[in-house]
Amino acid sequence: MNKKTIVVKVGSSSITTDEGTIDRSRVQTLCDEIADLHVKGNRLVVVTSGAIAAGLPPLNMSGLDRPKDSETLQAVSAIGQGHLIQTYQEAFSKHGLIAGQVLLTPLDFFLRAQYLHARSTLNRLLELGAIPVVNENDAVADDEIRWGDNDRIAALVAHLVDADLLLLLTDTEGVLTADPKIDNGASLIEEILEIDQALEERVGGSGSVHGSGGMTSKVAAAKIAAWSGVPTLIAHAHRPNVVVESVNGVPGTGTMIHARETRLGARRLWIAFAVGSKGRITVDDGAKKALEERRASLLPAGVIEASGSFVAGDAIEISGPDQVVFAKGLVRHDLTDLEKIIGQHTEDVPQGLSAEVVHADDLVVLPS
Using one digit for the tens of pLDDT, what is the confidence trace for 317-346? 999 999 999 999 999 999 999 999 999 999
Predicted pLDDT at 15 = 94
DSSP string covering 266-322, please?
A: HHHHIIIIIS---EEEEE-HHHHHHHHHH-PPB-GGGEEEEEES--TT-EEEEE-TT
Helix (H) or strand (E) holding 7, with range, is strand 5-10
Predicted pLDDT at 147 = 40
- The arithmetic mean of pLDDT across residues 247-270, rounded, is 87
Q: Express as a percent the part of the chain with pLDDT over 70.
A: 92
- The arithmetic mean of pLDDT across residues 255-259, rounded, is 95
Q: How far apart are CA 78 and CA 82, in angstroms?
A: 8
Q: Is the pLDDT of residue 209 over 50?
A: no
- The arithmetic mean of pLDDT across residues 89-115, rounded, is 88
Predicted pLDDT at 13 = 87
Predicted pLDDT at 253 = 95
Tell me the HSE value of 295 on the side-chain side, using a 13 A CA sphere.
Answer: 8
**330, β-bridge pairs:** 315
Predicted pLDDT at 146 = 41
Choice between 16 and 185, residue whose per-residue pLDDT is larger: 16
Sign of the dihedral defined by the CA atoms of residues 73, 66, 102, 6, in that order: negative
Predicted pLDDT at 204 = 63
**3-state SS assignment for residue 210:** coil
Confidence of residue 206 (pLDDT cuts 50, 70, 90): very low
Confidence of residue 148 (pLDDT cuts 50, 70, 90): low
Q: How far apart are CA 182 and CA 241, in angstroms?
A: 29
Exposure of 264 by Cβ count < 10 A (0-12 exposed, 13-18 middle, 19+ buried)?
Answer: buried
Confidence of residue 348 (pLDDT cuts 50, 70, 90): very high
Domains, the chain, in order of start with CATH, read 5-268 (3.40.1160.10), 276-365 (2.30.130.10)
